[in-house]
């Protein structure tokens, strides 16, 4: 899951490109790469590159979802990822 650090609100030099700014706004709540890809209408490879830029510049952090007792992600997370993939 991706989380915005909030630094995008104060980043002025250099100005953020529109896709990176949209990514940061979207990641105010935990968001999967599949959801971001669908929202930005980009391929997963392009989205991964954008996400990596966000992480490298300190605008985003990535966290692994907590696994339940059965070693599976929560059903709500799987549903959100599924919905994001359907929008691709």
Cβ atoms of residues 74 and 30 within 8 Å: no
C-alpha distance from residue 76 to each of 10, 34, 51, 54 (Å): 32, 14, 22, 25
Tell which residue, 48, 45, 35, has the closest CA to residue 86: 35
Farthest CA pair distance, the chain = 46
Query: How far apart are the C-alpha atoms of 1 and 47, rounded to whole Å?
Result: 13
- 19-46 pLDDT, tens digit per residue, is 888 888 888 888 888 888 888 888 999 9
Assess if residue 87 is contained within a domain: no
pLDDT over threshold 70, residue 13 = no
Assess if residue 88 is contained within a domain: no
C-alpha distance from residue 79 to each of 6, 16, 34, 70, 73 (Å): 26, 31, 12, 17, 10
pLDDT tier at 8, thresholds 50, 70, 90: low
- Quote the domain boundaries for residue 23: 2-82
Assess if residue 24 is contained within a domain: yes
Assess if residue 52 is contained within a domain: yes
Q: What is the domain count for the chain?
A: 1
Kindly report the pTM of this predicted structure.
Answer: 0.64
Assess if residue 59 is contained within a domain: yes
pLDDT at res. 67: 57
């Amino acid at each position: 899951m991706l989380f915005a650090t909030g630094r995008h609100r104060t980043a002025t030099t250099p100005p953020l490109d529109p896709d990176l700014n949209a990514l940061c706004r979207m990641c105010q709540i935990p968001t999967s790469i599949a959801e971001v890809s669908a929202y930005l209408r980009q391929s997963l490879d392009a989205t991964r590159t954008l996400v990596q830029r966000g992480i490298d510049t300190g605008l985003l952090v990535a966290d692994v979802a907590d696994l339940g007792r059965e070693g599976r992600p929560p059903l709500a997370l799987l549903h959100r990822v599924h919905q994001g993939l359907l929008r691709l």
